[in-house]
A = this chain, B = another copy of it.
Amino acid sequence: MSRLNTHIAHATADRIVIRGVDLVEEIIGKRSFTEMLYFLSVGRNPTGAQVAILDACLVTLMEHGWTPSSVITRLVLESVPGEMQVALAAGLLALGPVYAGTAEDCAKLLCEITDTSGGSDDRSARTANDLASAIVTRYRNAGHAIPGFGHPLHKPNDPRALRLLQLADDMRISGQYVAALRTLSSAVDAAYKKHITINATGAIAALLLEIQIPSDLMRGMAVVSRSGGLIGHVKEERVKKASREIWRFAEENIPYSEQD
């Protein structure tokens, strides 16, 4: 027989308990979605500042106009009009290592820097700088972009990242991970001999770590956030039918040829 259990939820005829808390008595009407998202992801209640930071990260990622996820959602909606959740889920599949997972990957680098530097004395500060430089060298040698840095449009600075980091400072949330991000930023600039922006997912990586959301759940936060934005695309697509135009573009502008 199974000896497994789950800590998540349990329902009887007149009561639903979620991680030890009564849904009807203590959650509905008393806690916000963002508070519950934190509670279910981290396993304990957030402080007010933690909720504010999580909200800030979530609203940052909700919407960025035309992206692979919004184009996919619109194409699937056109194809399966009666099941909106299928269109949303299809778009969410695209939140992977290229367009949303950089928060996760950047967060791992920040943990790599902080795991060793730990304290704040001269020796460990030097070590953090050294670790950051080594990371930059490693990525450059492999020909990879450094997760959390650079943006094709938002340069020299990504205004979202500036705002998020300022908010973390203002709310006294900034700690070792924001410090590590700034150390890494200096190492990036030194290696490239110019300023490369910290992008939105870089700042989000640092802020989510500061509020104890682990790197391996960050992509889940992107899913929650973007799912909200994609609802707006569903609503607009039902009226504007942009997916047909996008599809027609491919037919007209990427023509068939038997030779290259």
Residues of A within 8 A of B (CB): 1-2, 4-20, 23-24, 27-29, 31-34, 36-37, 40-41, 52, 54-56, 58-60, 62-72, 75-76, 78-86, 88-90, 92-100, 153-155, 157, 159-160, 162-164, 167, 216-217, 219-225, 227-236, 238, 240, 242-243, 245-247, 249-251, 253-258, 260
Contacts and interface: CB of A to CB of B under 8 A. Distances in A.
Contacts of A258: 7, 19-20
A8 B254 contact: no
A50 B212 CA distance: 30
Contacts of A155: 13
A228 B37 contact: yes
Contact of A27 (B59, B69, B238, B253): B59
How many copies the complex holds: the figure is 4
A223 B227 contact: yes
Q: Chain A's interface: helix, strand, loop or mixed, by majority? A: helix
Contact of A7 (B2, B84, B229, B256): B256
Nearest to A40: B232
B40 A228 contact: yes
